[in-house]
């Protein structure tokens, strides 16, 4: 199913429709402030396994991100963050970054793995954030990759729907996506170590 939601002013009923799908263990494709994401409710093990199958990866080796509404969610899934790091997060988010932190004990329970770190995303996209807010817990997410050798990420939601409609429960058309992913910043050692330069420029916030 393909539904259209406008990012400037997301329709509450449509957001709730998406949340209902997630609560039933559904898998969705949705827009972020960078590329389109493949996501599910982080508390649903079967949905997590479905995403792993779609991506052809093992759950214990998967580098998923948790999509959060705001910084209040983060402390549930990460070990304590120092004040300086938190101050920079507050300036950079919502934005096109994935910050990697040492995972709290909640994360291995959710993912059935021995994961020591977790990626946290707060995208600057109302559709993604409103879904998380209505769901009342984060979405587990991974990027949609394209088979095209030139464009690594799919940007057209209608083409994404054509490709994935038999694999997922819902595709949200939130307009054309970007083909540049988030900037991945590893904070697990106490420093800001950029391990993938993407759309976000961290220098602006340091």
CA-based end-to-end distance of the chain: 42
Q: What is the mean pLDDT of each run of 10 residues along the chain (206 residues)?
A: 93 97 97 94 92 84 87 89 94 96 85 81 96 95 66 78 93 91 93 94 94
Quick one: what percent of the chain has pLDDT higher than 90? 71
For residue range 99-130, list pLDDT tens digits in order: 999 999 888 777 766 778 999 999 999 999 99
Q: Across 33-96, where does the E strand assignment appear? A: 37-41, 65-67
Q: Contact at 8 Å (CB) between 11 and 179?
A: no
Helices H / strands E in the chain, number of each: 6, 10
> For residue 4, is the peptide bond before it cis, meaning its omega torsion is within 30 degrees of 0?
no
For residue range 84-94, list pLDDT tens digits in order: 999 999 999 99
Backbone φ and ψ of 169, nearest 5°: -90, -25
Specify the pLDDT at position 150: 44
């Amino acid at each position: 199913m393909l539904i259209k939601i406008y990012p400037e002013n997301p329709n509450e009923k449509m957001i709730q429709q998406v949340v209902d799908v997630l609560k039933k263990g559904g898998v969705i494709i949705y827009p972020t402030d960078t590329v389109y994401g493949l996501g599910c409710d982080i508390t649903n093990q079967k949905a997590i396994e479905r995403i792993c199958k779609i991506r052809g990866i093992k759950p214990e080796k998967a580098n998923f991100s948790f999509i959060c509404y705001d910084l209040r969610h983060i402390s549930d899934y990460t070990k304590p963050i120092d004040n300086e790091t938190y101050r920079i997060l507050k300036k950079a988010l919502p934005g096109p970054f994935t910050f990697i932190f040492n995972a709290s004990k909640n994360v291995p329970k959710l993912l059935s793995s021995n994961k020591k770190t977790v990626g946290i995303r707060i995208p600057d996209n109302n559709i993604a954030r409103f879904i998380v807010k209505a769901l009342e817990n984060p979405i587990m997410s991974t990027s949609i990759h394209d088979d095209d050798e030139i464009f690594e990420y799919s940007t057209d939601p209608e083409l994404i729907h054509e490709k994935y409609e038999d694999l997922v429960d819902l595709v949200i058309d939130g307009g054309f996506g970007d083909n540049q992913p988030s900037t991945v910043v590893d904070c697990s050692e106490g420093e800001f170590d950029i391990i993938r330069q993407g759309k976000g420029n961290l220098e602006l916030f340091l």
